[in-house]
Amino acid sequence: MRALLQRVSRASVRVEGHIVGSVRTGLLVLLGVAPEDSHRDLEYLAEKLLSLRIFRDEMGRMNRSVLDVEGSILLVSQFTLYASTRKGRRPYFSGGASPEHARSMYEELARLLATRLDVATGVFGAPMEVELLNDGPVTIMLDSKARE
């Protein structure tokens, strides 16, 4: 699994002009799923998302997690995180999971995170418009296979 996370002051996702999910202070997480991803990848990613100390403390240092600041997560499916651009000019998307597997993993991650904090989501597979105010800016890529 790959997750591109951004620390946000606010973020929202629209489908057909209607806001379907939004958060204030927290994380916007764009999630890509690979065919071989399992529950172990979900657990790794959930723990990282909840515990990464990327929010400012009283000294202005990145020393607090999304849980520490009582933030929220906006989780949006993003199959293009597995795009390959090795050949030509058009990305190749064979590295992503099947829609069925990706949807299952996406929904399970949302449920897992929701046991600890507020989670908003986009609509899996729908064309979406994502709007955010990146706080920092802070943008970090996580990969459950590389463990980074």
Catalytic residues: 78-80
- Domain 2-143: which topology? D-tyrosyl-trna(Tyr) Deacylase; Chain: A; (3.50.80)
Taking every pair of Cα atoms in the chain, the longest distance, rounded to a whole number of angstroms, is 48
**Dihedral (CA of 142, 145, 147, 148) sign:** negative
Per-residue pLDDT, 88: 87
| Residues 102/108/114/120 CA torsion (nearest 10 deg) | 30
Per-residue pLDDT of the chain (148 residues; tens, 9 = 90+): 999 999 999 999 999 999 999 999 999 999 999 999 999 999 999 999 999 999 999 999 999 999 999 999 999 999 999 988 888 888 888 889 999 999 999 999 999 999 999 999 999 999 999 999 999 999 999 999 888 6
- For the entire predicted model, the pTM comes to 0.94
Report the pLDDT value the prediction gives residue 84, as an integer from 0 to 100: 87
Residue 86: the pLDDT is 87
What residues does each domain of the chain span? Answer: 2-143
pLDDT of residue 148: 66
Rounded-to-integer distance, Cα 26 and Cα 103, Å: 23
